[in-house]
Structure 1
Amino acid sequence: MTRTTDVLISGAGPTGLFLALWLTRLGVQVRIADPKPGPVQETRAIAVQARTLEFYDQLGLGDDAMARGRHFDRLNLFVRGQLRGAVRLHGVGRGLTPHPYLYILTQDQNEALLAQHLARLGVTVDWNTEVTTFTQDRGGVTATLEHGGQRETVHARYAAGCDGARSAVRHALGIPLSGGTYAQRFYVADLTLSGQVREGDVNLSLDDDHFLAFFPMPEPHRHRVVGQLSRDAPQDATFEAVRGELEANGLARVERLHWFSTYRVHHRVADRFRAGRAFLLGDAAHVHTPVGGQGMNTGLGDAANLAWKLAQAIHGGAAEALLDTYEPERRPFAVSLVNTTDRVFSGIVQNGPAARFVRLTVLPSVLPLLTRAEVVRRLLFLTVSQTRLHYPASPLSQGAVGRVRGGQRLPWVPQADGRSNFDRLRSLSWQVHTYGPPAPDVLSWCAQQALPLHVFPTTSASRRAGLDPLGIYLMRPDGYVGLALPTFDRAALDRYVARWVHVPPPAPAARHARPS
Structure 2
Amino acid sequence: MDVLIVGAGPTGLTLGIDLARRGVDALVVERAEGLFPGSRGKGIQPRTQEVFDDLGVLQEIREAGGPYPARMIWKDGERAGELPMFEKVAADEGAPYTEPLMVAQWRTQEILHARLAGLGGRVAFGREVAGLEQDAEGVTVRFADGTTARARHVVAADGGRSAVRRALGVGMAGETVDPAPFLVADVRVRGLDRDHWHTFPRDDGSGVALCPLAGTDDFQLQARLPEGREPDLSLAGVRELVAGYTHLGAEDVTELRWVSDFRPRAALADRFRAGRVFLAGDAAHVHSPAGGQGLNTSVQDAYNLGWKLGAVLRDGAPEALLDTYEEERRPNAAAMLGLTTGVHHGEVTRGRATVQLGLGYPDSPLSTETRTDPAGVRAGDRAPDGTVDGVRLFDAFRGPHWTLLGAAAPTPGVRALPAAPESYGPGVFLVRPDGYVGWAGETAAGADAYLARVGLR
Q: Structure 2-normalised TM-score?
A: 0.89
Alignment of 1:434-449 (within 5 A): 434=406, 442-443=407-408, 446-448=409-411
Aligned-pair CA distance for 1:123: 2.1
Cα contact 1:48–1:103 (8 A) shared by 2: yes
Q: Secondary structure at the match of 2:40?
A: coil
- Provide closer, same or farther for how the CA distance between residues 483 and 213 of structure 1 changes in structure 2, counting only shifts above 3 A: farther
SS in 2 for 1:159: strand
What is the alpha-carbon distance in structure 2 between the residues aligned to residue 78 and residue 452 of structure 1?
54
What is the alpha-carbon distance in structure 2 between the residues aligned to residue 173 and residue 245 of structure 1? 45
Amino acid at match of 1:332: P
Pick closer, same or farther for the CA change 1:29–1:239 going to 2, 3 Å. same
1:472 to 397, 409, 428: 428
* Cα distance in structure 2, aligned partners of 1:303 and 1:7: 13
Q: Name the counterpart of 1:438.
A: none
Q: How many pairs are equivalent?
A: 446
Equivalent-residue separation in structure 1 for 2:85 and 2:110 (angstroms) = 31
Match of 1:324 in 2: 323
Classify the secondary structure of the residue corresponding to 1:383: coil
Q: Deviations over 1:324-356 (max 9, x none)?
A: 1111211112112222222332459xxxxxxxx
Counterpart contact for 1:475–1:483, Cα < 8 Å: yes
Residue type of the partner of 1:382? R
Correspondent of 2:368 among 393, 398, 407: 398
Q: TM-score, normalised by structure 1?
A: 0.79
Q: CA–CA distance in 1 between the matches of 2:87 and 2:353?
A: 16
Counterpart position of 1:303: 302
How many Å separate the matches in 2 of 1:243 and 1:145?
41
Equivalent-residue separation in structure 1 for 2:411 and 2:335 (angstroms):
41
Counterpart residue identity of residue 274, structure 1: R
Distance in 2 (alpha carbons) for counterparts of 1:47 and 1:394 = 28
CA contact (8 A) 1:430 1:501 kept: no
- 1:335-382 per-residue CA deviation (whole Å, 9 max, x = no partner) reads 12222222332459xxxxxxxxxxxxxxxxxx9xxxxxxxx9xxx543
SS at match of 2:383: coil
User: Residues 452, 232 of structure 1: CA spacing in aligned structure 2 closer, same or farther, 3 A cutoff?
Assistant: closer
Aligned to 1:292: 291
Change (3 A) 1:205 1:480: farther
Distance of 2:344 and 2:397 partners within structure 1:
36
Q: Select the residue among 190, 212, 218 that pairs with 1:216.
A: 212
2:396 paired residue number = 424
2:453 corresponds to which of 492, 496, 499: 499
How far, CA to CA, are the matches of 2:101 and 2:275 in structure 1? 37
State the distance in 2 between where 1:220 and 1:156 align: 39
User: Taking structure 1 as reference, are residues 483 and 104 closer, same or farther at Cα in structure 2, changes over 3 Å only?
Assistant: same
Q: What is the CA–CA distance in structure 1 between the aligned matches of 2:120 and 2:45, rounded to whole Å?
A: 28
**How big is each residue's C-alpha offset from its partner over 1:26-51, in whole Å with a ceiling of 9 and x where there is no partner?**
01000211110011222221121111
Any conservation in 2 of the 1:143–1:154 contact (CA below 8 Å)? Answer: yes
Distance 1:429 1:246 in 2: 53
Corresponding residue to 1:101 among 99, 102, 110: 99
- Residue of structure 2 in register with 1:488 after alignment: 443
2:149 matched residue in structure 1: 154
Do structure 1's residue 408 and structure 2's residue 381 form an aligned pair?
Answer: yes
Give unmatched runs, 5+ long, in structure 2: none
* Secondary structure in 1 matching 2:141: strand
In the TM superposition, residue 240 of structure 1 has moved relative to its aligned partner by 3.6
Amino acid at match of 1:404: V
- The aligned counterpart of 2:80 is 83
Contact in 2 for aligned 1:90/1:101 (Cα 8 Å): no
1:112 is aligned to 110
User: Do the aligned partners of residues 467 and 83 (structure 1) sit closer, same or farther apart at CA in structure 2, a change above 3 Å counting?
Assistant: same
Alignment of 1:192 onto 2:188: yes
- What does 1:205-354 correspond to in 2, within 5 Å? 205-209=200-204, 210-219=206-215, 222-234=218-230, 236=232, 238-248=237-247, 254=253, 256-347=255-346
Which is worse superposed, 224-233 or 39-48? 224-233
1:493 to partner: Cα distance? 2.3
* Deviation beyond 6 Å, 4+ runs, structure 1: none
Quick one: which amino acid aligns to residue 100 of structure 1?
A: T
Counterpart Cα distance in 1 of 2:354 and 2:363? 21
Q: Does 1:143 align with 2:116?
A: no
Amino acid at match of 2:108: N
In 1, distance between residues paired with 2:389 and 2:414?
25
Cα drift, residue 322 of structure 1? 1.2
The aligned counterpart of 1:510 is none
Q: 2:269 is aligned with what amino acid?
A: A
Q: Is the 8 A contact 1:186 1:229 kept in 2?
A: yes
From the CA coordinates, give the structure whose radius of gyration is larger.
1
Superposed CA RMSD: 2.7
